[in-house]
């Protein structure tokens, strides 16, 4: 199956955004065993979109489009497909009702121009979009497929994985099974070095991807049956786990926060945090896991060091060792544990940069856990990264320390 | 002048990297006043590169290629251009000498395959590459131009700016100026409806973009001089401001957090927050603005309602009205203002969903500000969105209420 990606949006041609949707789709097509030969970006212009679509229609079996499904005059994906195929867009009563209900539930009047988001053509089936007002289209005609999805990444990702990929399975033949092994604490090149003995196999294939919250190792097997593909992935997973050990914190949709969530829930333990330079990112990451209200009490963001003291860190500790020190991190963890009456208190302090603070360089991170069996602490490796990245990395370092502690590894 | 970008590299089609070269070039072309109509990514395959080049040659005046200039068999940009134009690649003695010298200076033997980096065709002039071994080509033929540059970003950026752009200046002329007006509190389609009287002008042009923290209105003018283009944008900005009023919170790189940062710094006022379901996102958004340590004290994340009470919200208020109520939001704002001794306390509570809480639906948001002149409150419009989006929207709604209050509009 020969595939082609077409991304619509003048913002791409003005360089306002990079086409990361194409990157995401390219990875996914590769793991599905579908050959991708061309990617194009076109502005919001009917003639140019149709021209590009027509060329794609001539040479590819599958065209994956993103963008151009919004309600405005600039959104021309539906019109382009209709023009290409010579079919007329018609109102779908069910889609129209959904759309009106969506606006009504938000107590908003629906602009008339939104109505075109409720249209469809005879060759298209509708792909639902629970995250937005633009449904997608799955078009099948003359042995070819067009999948049209919104350009907003979080809407597109969900629609692709939950709606489009299952429909494509009928065309790819054989069975493909993929598993992600999620790694924290090793860089991507170190992961590749350690995986060298198995990295160059052809089935299953291994690929590594640096993500914002992990390095992912993707294991993909192709076989005549799903069961066989799953077995092949499981065998490879065993070998990968031997090579990477406890750096693998989870699989597939696991995150560090979901893993500690499960551990805390299972043991019926509670958690609270005191953080300085991560400034709420630690609390918001922990609570992004549904069900966190069962174990997470809350937190203190001590942006001003006076707040550390007001919240129970001894003034002598801060004055003697500094607000950014292992001693203060430990005192923060202990203070929050006591003050909020939880099983585990987590304290995080450090320097986001770009300037140093208290003589400590940007990237300095001190983490401590106060728990039923005393205090455990850790130190970040001092990455050189942007201010936002330092905060993200410190948050993950803190969660990983807690994960290792709860798993009895630290 | 109609331009087109062609990026060569199988790694792009496997999703290993995003095409940020195209983004860089798109921005640069836009600022040069050159219209970019198409961008394509193609793998390292002679037939497919030539096919894409040929189509570009038919419809564009300028083709900017990146990638495919390395020494390996997979590097096919030179071969593709030669095939397209029917010209033969020949060794350039000066380039060959440079290349041999380059290897000699690094005490390395030059692999014979590198020699193709010293070839050129009659229509091409060579673009030097002090950062690598691959020179670029600047091809002029039949009134068209092809610029071929390496795919390594730092080599390409330099070559584009120092070698290609000066050569292109002879073809462009005129000047372009662009300004973003950033809008909060109106959906993209409502913004377009309000802008209807000016939306269809051709110079300046207007375009709207839905971003995660604003709807952006981009005003772009083209004129014989930069000064004239700036004047045209300023005139249009005045009209847009009349149509959108105080919903415009800033321009260009402004964010709601940078705007309130500037307002608080100017008035030397301090801020602290108490938040429930945004759970640290409000604090981390405020502190993402550099310089926030001058006005932001810190915050409380009261994930468990008991914490609201422990931090100074009267138990009666929570019990009578609920943890999610305008009354509790006001009490949170007052409590944090008093407890942390700041000028402004900001309280945010609500329901992230997906389930309702205390009988209030997902998307319910209550915001309150306690300041020197009493308490102001606001209510979110109750969007239907994912849990993460509810938190993001509530954070922005809180910052916007504070912005309007500090600007004397609420």
Residue B294 to residue B315: CA distance in whole angstroms: 33
Residue B293 to residue B282: CA distance in whole angstroms: 15
Which residue of A lies nearest to B10 if distances are taken between CA atoms? A37
Residue B185 to residue B253: CA distance in whole angstroms: 18
Specify which residues B300 forms β-bridges with: A300, B274
> Chain B contact for A303, CB < 8 A?
yes
pLDDT above 90: residue A366: yes
Written as six digits, the tokens of A381 are 């490796």
Residue B312 to residue A178: CA distance in whole angstroms: 51
Residue B26 to residue A29: CA distance in whole angstroms: 26
Q: Mind giving me the DSSP string for B368-392?
A: EEEETTEEEEEE-------HHHHHH
Q: Do B282 and B296 have their domain in common? A: yes
pLDDT for position B232: 96
User: Greater confidence, A150 or B101?
Assistant: A150
Give me the residues of B, 33-62, that contact A with CB < 8 A.
Answer: 36-43, 45, 48, 52, 55
Q: Do B302 and A301 touch (CB under 8 A)?
A: no
User: Which of the 8 DSSP states describes residue A209?
Assistant: E
Q: Do A247 and A265 have their domain in common? A: no
Identify the residue among B33, B301, B345 best suited for mutation to test binding to A, counting A beta carbons within 10 A and taking the highest.
B301
- SS3 label, residue A184: coil
Written as six digits, the tokens of B206 are 């207007």
Q: Residues of A with CB below 8 A from B13's CB? A: 26, 36-37, 39
Q: Do A285 and A385 have their domain in common? A: yes
Q: Do B27 and A13 touch (CB under 8 A)?
A: no
> What are the residues whose beta carbons fall under 8 Å from the beta carbon of A148, sequence distance 6 or more?
A65, A66, A68, A69, A77, A78, A81, A124, A136, A137, A139
Long-range contacts of A363-368 (CB under 8 A, 24+ apart): A363/A390, A364/A324, A365/A390, A365/A393, A365/A394, A365/A397, A366/A324, A366/A325, A366/A326, A366/A328, A366/A329, A367/A329, A367/A394, A367/A397, A367/A398, A367/A401, A368/A326, A368/A329, A368/A330, A368/A332, A368/A333
Final residue of a structural domain among B110, B140, B171: B171
Final residue of a structural domain among B132, B148, B171: B171
CATH number at residue A10: 3.40.980.10
User: Which of the 8 DSSP states describes residue A107?
Assistant: T
pTM of the full structure: 0.74
pLDDT for position B223: 84
Written as six digits, the tokens of B389 are 């989006």
Give me the residues of B, 317-336, that contact A with CB < 8 A.
Answer: none
Q: Residues of A with CB below 8 A from B28's CB? A: 15
pLDDT for position A203: 87
pLDDT for position B72: 80
- SS3 label, residue B215: strand
Q: Do B348 and B301 have their domain in common? A: yes
Q: Do B286 and B373 have their domain in common? A: yes
Q: Do A290 and B387 touch (CB under 8 A)?
A: yes
Out of A147-151, A247-251, B350-354, pick the least confident. Answer: B350-354
Q: Do A30 and B15 touch (CB under 8 A)?
A: yes
Residue B206 to residue B220: CA distance in whole angstroms: 7
**Binning pLDDT at 50, 70 and 90, where does residue A160 land?**
very high
* Shortest Cα–Cα distance, A63 to chain B (Å): 14
**Binning pLDDT at 50, 70 and 90, where does residue A279 land?**
very high
Residue environment code for B24-36, b if the CB has 16+ CB neighbours within 10 A, otherwise e: bbbebbbebbbbb
pLDDT in tens, A8-56: 999 899 888 899 999 999 988 987 878 899 999 999 999 999 999 999 9
Residue A385 to residue A366: CA distance in whole angstroms: 16
Q: How many domains does chain B have?
A: 3
Q: Does the model's ipTM exceed the 0.85 cut? A: no
B165 dihedral zone (left: phi>0; alpha: psi -120 to 50; beta)? alpha
pLDDT for position A384: 61
pLDDT above 60: residue A254: yes
Q: Do A167 and A188 have their domain in common? A: no
Q: Do A213 and A237 have their domain in common? A: yes
| Backbone angles phi and psi of B256, in degrees to 5 | -60, -40
Q: Do A366 and A268 have their domain in common? A: yes
Q: Do A77 and A215 have their domain in common? A: no
Residue A177 to residue A160: CA distance in whole angstroms: 16
Most confident of A218-222, A226-230, A316-320: A316-320
User: Greater confidence, A356 or B283?
Assistant: B283
Contact between residue A354 and residue A389 where contact means Cβ atoms under 8 Å apart? no
Final residue of a structural domain among B235, B251, B267: B251
Q: Note down the domain range covering B30.
A: 2-171
Please choose, from the candidates A333, A367, A370, A364, the residue with its C-alpha nearest in 3D space to the C-alpha of residue A350: A364
Contact between residue B125 and residue B148 where contact means Cβ atoms under 8 Å apart? no
pLDDT for position B383: 61
Q: Do A304 and B293 touch (CB under 8 A)?
A: yes
pLDDT for position B71: 84
pLDDT for position A318: 95
Residue B292 to residue A270: CA distance in whole angstroms: 31
Q: Do B206 and B89 have their domain in common? A: no
* Shortest Cα–Cα distance, A274 to chain B (Å): 10
pLDDT for position A382: 61
CATH number at residue B271: 3.90.950.20
Q: Do B230 and B332 have their domain in common? A: no
Which helix H or strand E contains B265, and what residues bound it? Answer: helix B256-267
Percentage of residues of chain A with pLDDT beyond 90: 66
Please choose, from the candidates A18, A392, A133, the residue with its C-alpha nearest in 3D space to the C-alpha of residue B384: A133
* Shortest Cα–Cα distance, A100 to chain B (Å): 13
Q: Do B299 and B400 have their domain in common? A: yes
CB nearest to A297's CB, from B25, B207, B303: B303
CATH number at residue A187: 3.30.70.2860
pLDDT for position B270: 97
Out of A248-252, A259-263, B241-245, B384-388, pick the least confident. Answer: B384-388
Residue B145 to residue B57: CA distance in whole angstroms: 9
Which helix H or strand E contains B223, and what residues bound it? Answer: strand B214-223
Q: Do B298 and A283 touch (CB under 8 A)?
A: no
- SS3 label, residue A318: helix
> Chain A contact for B356, CB < 8 A?
no
pLDDT for position A383: 58
Mean pLDDT by 10 residues, chain B (410 residues): 94 88 90 88 95 96 95 90 97 92 80 88 94 91 96 90 84 77 91 92 83 88 86 97 97 95 96 96 94 95 93 95 95 96 96 85 92 86 74 93 92
Give me the residues of A, 191-250, that contact B with CB < 8 A.
Answer: none
Q: Residues of A with CB below 8 A from B293's CB? A: 303-304
Q: Do B304 and A298 touch (CB under 8 A)?
A: yes
Long-range contacts of B203-208 (CB under 8 A, 24+ apart): B203/B232, B204/B232, B204/B233, B204/B236, B206/B236, B206/B240, B207/A10, B207/A11, B207/A74, B208/A72
Out of A185-189, A254-258, A300-304, B211-215, pick the least confident. Answer: A185-189
> Chain B contact for A308, CB < 8 A?
no
pLDDT above 70: residue A381: no
pLDDT for position A174: 72
Specify which residues B344 forms β-bridges with: B271
Q: Residues of A with CB below 8 A from B381's CB? A: 106-108
> Chain A contact for B284, CB < 8 A?
yes
> Chain A contact for B340, CB < 8 A?
yes
pLDDT for position B203: 87
Identify the residue among A10, A14, A338, A339 best suited for mutation to test binding to B, counting B beta carbons within 10 A and taking the highest.
A14
């Amino acid at each position: 199956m020969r595939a082609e990606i077409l991304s619509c949006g003048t913002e791409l041609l003005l360089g306002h955004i990079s086409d990361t949707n194409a990157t995401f789709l390219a990875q996914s097509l590769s793991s599905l065993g579908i050959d991708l030969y061309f990617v194009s970006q076109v502005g919001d212009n009917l003639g140019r979109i149709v021209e590009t679509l027509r060329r794609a229609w001539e040479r590819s079996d599958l065209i994956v489009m993103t963008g151009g499904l919004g309600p405005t005059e600039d959104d021309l994906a539906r019109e382009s497909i209709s023009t290409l195929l010579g079919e007329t867009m018609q109102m779908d009563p069910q889609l129209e009702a959904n759309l009106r209900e969506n606006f009504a539930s938000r107590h908003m009047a629906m602009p008339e121009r939104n109505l075109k988001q409720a249209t469809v053509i005879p060759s298209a089936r509708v792909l639902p979009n629970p995250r937005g007002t633009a449904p997608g289209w799955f078009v099948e005609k003359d042995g070819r497929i067009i999948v049209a999805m919104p350009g907003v990444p979080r809407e597109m990702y969900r629609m692709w994985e939950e709606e489009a990929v299952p429909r494509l399975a009928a065309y790819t033949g054989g069975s493909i099974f993929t598993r992600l092994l999620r790694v924290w604490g090793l860089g991507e090149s170190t992961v590749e070095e350690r995986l060298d003995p198995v990295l160059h196999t052809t089935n299953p294939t291994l690929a590594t991807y640096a993500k914002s919250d992990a390095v992912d190792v993707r294991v993909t097997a192709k076989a005549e049956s799903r069961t066989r593909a799953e077995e092949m992935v499981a065998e490879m997973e065993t070998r990968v786990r031997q090579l990477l050990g406890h750096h693998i914190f989870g699989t597939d949709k696991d995150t560090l926060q979901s893993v500690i969530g499960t551990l805390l829930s299972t043991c019926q333990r509670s958690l609270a945090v005191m953080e300085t330079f991560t400034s709420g990112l630690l609390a918001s990451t922990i609570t992004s896991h549904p069900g966190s209200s069962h174990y997470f009490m809350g937190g203190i963001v001590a942006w001003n060091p006076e707040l550390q003291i007001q919240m129970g860190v001894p003034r002598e500790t801060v004055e003697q060792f500094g607000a950014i020190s292992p001693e203060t991190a430990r005192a923060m963890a202990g203070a929050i544990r006591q003050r909020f009456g939880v099983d585990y208190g987590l304290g995080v302090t450090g320097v986001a940069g770009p300037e140093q603070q208290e003589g400590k360089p940007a990237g300095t991170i001190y983490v401590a856990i106060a728990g039923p069996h005393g205090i455990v602490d850790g130190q970040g490796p001092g990455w050189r990264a942007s201010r936002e990245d330092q905060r993200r990395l410190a948050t993950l370092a803190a969660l990983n320390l807690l994960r290792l502690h709860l798993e009895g590894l630290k």
